[in-house]
Chain A
Amino acid sequence: MDYGLTQEQEQLREEVRRFAENEIAPVADEYDREEKYPAEIVEKAAEMGLTGAHFPMEYGGVGYSTLDMALVTEELFAVDPGIGLCVTSAGFGAEAIMEFGTEEQKEEYLPPIAEGEAVMGAAISEPHAGSDVSSLSTRAEKDGDEWVVNGSKMWITNGSIGDYFVVMCETDPDVGDRYTGFSQLLIERDRDGFESEKITGKLGIRASDTAELRFDDVRVPEENLVGQRGMGFPQLMQFFDETRTMVAAQAVGIAKGANERALEYAEEREQFGRPISEFQAIRHKLSEMHTRTEAARQLTYKSAWSVDNAEDDLTMLASMAKEFASDVATDAADEAVQIHGGAGFVDDFDVERLYRDAKITQIYEGTTEIQKNIVARELLDEGY
């Protein structure tokens, strides 16, 4: 067991942090307030290789491990979760292509993400199917050598700006079993019948684009099937093992950002003739925030390590990490605002934004309640 990061990982972390401090921090506030997608920043991030670093070399990536990606995610989110998500989600859905896609799909859809020429998304949730994925009703029917897709998807990250999406569809409604009638299809924005509508008014991560997608007789060739027909559900569960680990890393980043800002403010702000960091109540908060963040980080790193090295406990670890780290993030952001007092309640300080941003980590890619259900189900050996 080795607890240290390699020199390469340290360098990676420092350079990503430098990028985030220089390119993201100065404008984070503006993009948040205006709910604006930071296309230029995502492009610069792509130049640096941040948008597809975990893709294999031959598809434009660097072959970075899940742990490396967790480190990158943590640093970006410590500076700004909104723009951080725009960068890390540029290839959301690519995990499915890497794992289950054909050679042609990998060649066509991965390099543009790494090069910053395209952005993608994963469309699972629907207006009536959130936690209960198996109730989704977007329908894909085979017509000759094409799929014809009808339905709508809700809350889709990169929905109004993305170039293509891995869409979870029902392809075989007549099979008896609840989980075997689904398939993942690649659907490009420029197909006839594809429409999207941006969702505004979000509590946090407001720079990130979220939209509703509608498919009205959208036709895609049969080659757009990702993986196997009817295996969409198990493929999705494997996809989630990876992406949930990344949400855990996002949460660790948010907690880290909140902690750093809280510590700095506590040392500066004076009341009763001394820095508030001298009051035990504040010291204990700082101590607890940092301790819990470190615990969340270790759980997240273990989950990330498991993605690449030990699949057995992965599903449970990913859910544990996501559930625990997202709680730590929302608590840390809450305490960071508390430590700032009135100053934390307005947008002069970043902690106000972090407080709003933290909440999403308890919701997307499976709510906290669902993660707990998964952990219990795994403990009791119940399958899904």
Chain B
Amino acid sequence: MKVLVTVKEVAAVEDDFEIDGLSIDDRYLEYDLNEWDDYAVEAAVQIAEAADEDVEVVAATIGPERSEETIRMALAKGADRAVRVWDDAIADQTLLDVNAKASVFEQVVAEEEPDLVLTGVQAADDALGATGVALANRVGYQWAAVVNDLDYAAGDDVATVRRELEGGVEEITEVDLPAVLSIQTGINEPRYASLRGIRQAQQKEIAPHDLSDLGLDAETVDGALELTDMYEPESESDATIFEGGAEETATELANVLRDKGVVGE
């Protein structure tokens, strides 16, 4: 069987940084694999490792050449190969919207025909949180979003998943394959890339594709969303320090939590 994992290189800003118009200079940025994708890769690799049959894990990304260094970490952790999609038309977008991403991945799915697609719940940078489900809709796969527990063995037709719903409620449900699951952090413990894995990853394929390779034209990625402004939100915080014995301070803390609506009456 084949598992496709969508992965993204995301940038995080350093403590001190400057915004320049609609962007932040590279020197203030650190690139890393999106945290949610790390869990998705781990979930895929665990399925492959536990399987009796051959399971191919393919990582797919939309990203510039620079992102190969990051994507290679997914290969070092056990993915077999990667597909990287990039195009001038994508680079020209100020913000790639969910539709555009779903269109790109739709073609990747058409080409790869995976049995299972794992995405992260969201990306740490644009936090749209919809790519997985939008993709499922496009390709007509079943889906489950915000999966924090997965019971699936390679070859099975059904995956049992636990999903996080609103307000701390969870749901256990079954999803027929082929399916797209968006993976929540905490579902597993992502491994460190082993030194052997890092070495082997250097030989693994990261196949570059542009839009025309996927049979798409430049308009496909023109989205409804445009980045118009970038600013740092005012952050506010206040701290209350309770003093005294455990008995008293616990009551005070409980009052605050109730007032703030964190716990019910």
Contact = CB atoms under 8 A, between A and B. Distances in A.
Interface of B, helix, strand, loop or mixed by DSSP: helix
Contact of B199 (A10, A18, A62): A62
B7 interface: no
A49 interface: yes
Interface string A16-37: 0011000000000000000000
B72 A62 contact: no
B195 A50 contact: yes
B69 A62 contact: no
B144 interface: no
B15 to A, nearest CB: 9
A381 interface: no
A11 B193 contact: yes
B196 A11 contact: no
A227 B199 CA distance: 31
A15 B192 contact: yes
Nearest to B70: A11
B21 to A, nearest CB: 26
A112 B141 CA distance: 46
B202 A49 contact: no
Nearest to A11: B198
Contacts of B194: 47-49
B161 interface: no
Interface of A, helix, strand, loop or mixed by DSSP: helix
B195 A8 contact: no
B192 A11 contact: no
Contact of B198 (A8, A47, A63): A8
Contact of A49 (B69, B72, B73, B196): B196
Contacts of B195: 12, 48-50, 53, 62, 64, 72
Interface in B177-208: 192-199, 201-202
Interface residues of B, number: 14
Contacts of A15: 73, 76, 192-193, 198
Nearest to A47: B194
A72 B194 CA distance: 12
A19 B73 CA distance: 14
A51 to B, nearest CB: 10
Given A7-B69, A7-B202, A62-B199, A19 B192 contact: yes
Contacts of B69: 7, 10-11
Nearest to B16: A267
Residue among A10, A15, A64 facing the most chain B CB atoms (10 A cut-off) = A15
Nearest to A50: B195
A40 B36 CA distance: 27
Nearest to B202: A8
A8 B76 CA distance: 10
Contacts of A10: 69
A110 B67 CA distance: 37
Nearest to A12: B198
B200 to A, nearest CB: 9
Contacts of B199: 8, 62-64
28 contacts: A7-B72, A7-B202, A8-B202, A10-B69, A11-B73, A11-B193, A11-B198, A12-B195, A12-B198, A15-B73, A15-B198, A18-B192, A19-B192, A48-B192, A48-B193, A48-B194, A48-B195, A49-B194, A49-B195, A49-B196, A49-B197, A50-B195, A53-B195, A62-B195, A62-B199, A63-B199, A64-B195, A64-B199
Interface of B: 69, 72-73, 76, 192-199, 201-202
Nearest 8 CB-CB pairs, A to B?
A49-B195, A49-B194, A53-B195, A48-B192, A62-B196, A15-B193, A62-B195, A8-B202
Given A49-B197, A72-B195, 6 more contacts: A11-B69, A11-B193, A48-B192, A48-B193, A53-B195, A63-B199
